[in-house]
Amino acid sequence: GQVCLYASGEESPTQVALRAQRLEVSTKGLKFISEIQLEKIEAVIDDVSPQWVVIDSIQTLFSEELSAAPGSVSQVKECAARLTRIAKRKGIGVIFVGHVTKEGAMAGPRVLEHMVDTVLYFEGDPESNYRILRACKNRFGSVNEIGVFGMTDKGLRGVRNPSALFLAERREGVPGSVTFINLEGTRPILIEIQALVDKSMLPNPKRLTVGTDGQRLTMLLAILHRHVNLPTYDQDVFLNAVGGIKITETASDLAVLTAIVSSMCNRPVSSKTAIFGEVGLGGEIRPVARGQERIREAAKLGFSRLIVPLKNKAQDIPGVEIVGVDNLKEAMRIIFGSTARRHDEEVYPEE
């Protein structure tokens, strides 16, 4: 079997052993040392010849050849560089555990990200039981893939169906709630997008987003005013991607605008409807990547109506109504009909 060397500068052997017992983790093939001096760790690597080495954490390591304190830029660079050379020479995998700042950036030198082959981040709301493992650099594959894990009393457990997780609390008949078919790498994941539009008492109405791009929201509201004649200059707009996931792709545009109109007009969108599509400045609905995969995922999860860009509509799926839309005004008419009103005004006045 494979041998893994765990070098801990953060916790004592007793602490790690107690956690292993609590999580009922097998320690077969695990060699543990509580050490922060690089030269001693190198000697143990030569002696044990492991297939994997875990350094917890890189900020606690120091080399006696340098006078700087552990965690300083020079120590972190030197220790990481020497362990990287050992990894390449011996063909072993080395995992550095690193601290992050309150803003989520890597603590200390950013140069550490340049020296390693892969950078993985654990993301998630501290109040949530779920964590998302995301690669932001990867020399061996895609950086868009994510893994979703649940925190249990037996440690982290992989979530096989993240879509069901992110839609678990979705309720029928709530205005401002829309299901969006997101794509993380090659993996379609359905996410609930919530919008709340409320009369503003401020000269500059609030625009607050959680999990989506705030600058893009401002642009989408301008498109909504220009092409659907639905102004928001006197409204506060709040937007939330449920589940703590970050939406980075423009395919969410149509779902975001649908949620905003739904809240504004107090008209709920069916919980069996899922939406995706990019909205251009001219009000056109643009096709997005991997449209068929998104459609299949939504159909698999029991959605009966899909609103998609016209050019993403391909073969039909039995039992699923796939509606292709070409522009924003047409999309709003199809989703809400022509009777939706805001403040006793027609939302879609006839030309």
pLDDT in tens, 266-291: 999 998 999 999 999 999 999 999 89
Q: Round the average pLDDT of the chain to a whole number and report it.
A: 87
Q: How confident is the model at residue 351 (pLDDT cuts 50, 70, 90)?
A: very low
Residue 132 is predicted with a pLDDT of 80
Q: What is the mean pLDDT of residues 291-301?
A: 87
Q: What is the mean pLDDT of residues 212-231?
A: 93
Residue 345 is predicted with a pLDDT of 56
Q: Is the pLDDT reported for residue 16 higher than 60?
A: yes
CATH for the 165-346 domain, from 3.40.640.10, 3.30.230.10, 1.20.120.1460, 3.40.30.10: 3.30.230.10
Residue 92 is predicted with a pLDDT of 95
CATH for the 4-116 domain, from 3.40.50.300, 2.60.40.60, 3.40.50.40, 3.30.420.10: 3.40.50.300
Q: Is the pLDDT reported for residue 112 higher than 90?
A: no
Q: What is the mean pLDDT of residues 152-178?
A: 81
Q: Is the pLDDT reported for residue 74 higher than 50?
A: yes
How many Cβ atoms from other residues are within 10 Å of residue 283's Cβ?
17
SS (H, E, C) the chain: CCCEEEEECCCCHHHHHHHHHHHCCCCCCEEEECCCEHHHHHHHHHHHCCCEEEEECHHHCECCCCCCCCCCHHHHHHHHHHHHHHHHHHCCEEEEECCECCCCCECCCCHHHHHCCEEEEEECCCCCCEEEEEEEEECCCCCCCEEEEEEECCEEEECCCHHHHHCCCCCCCCCCEEEEEEEECCEEEEEEEEEEEEECCCCCCCEEEECCCHHHHHHHHHHHHHHHCCCCCCEEEEEEECCCCCCCCHHHHHHHHHHHHHHHHCCCCCCCEEECCEECCCCEEECCCCHHHHHHHHHHCCCCEEEEEHHHCCCCECCEEEEEECEHHHHHHHHHCCCCEECCEECCCCC
Query: Would you kindly state where each structural domain of the chain is located, as residue ranges?
Result: 4-116, 118-160, 165-346
Residue 31 is predicted with a pLDDT of 93
Rg (CA), the chain: 25
Residue 344 is predicted with a pLDDT of 40
Q: Is the pLDDT reported for residue 197 higher than 70?
A: yes
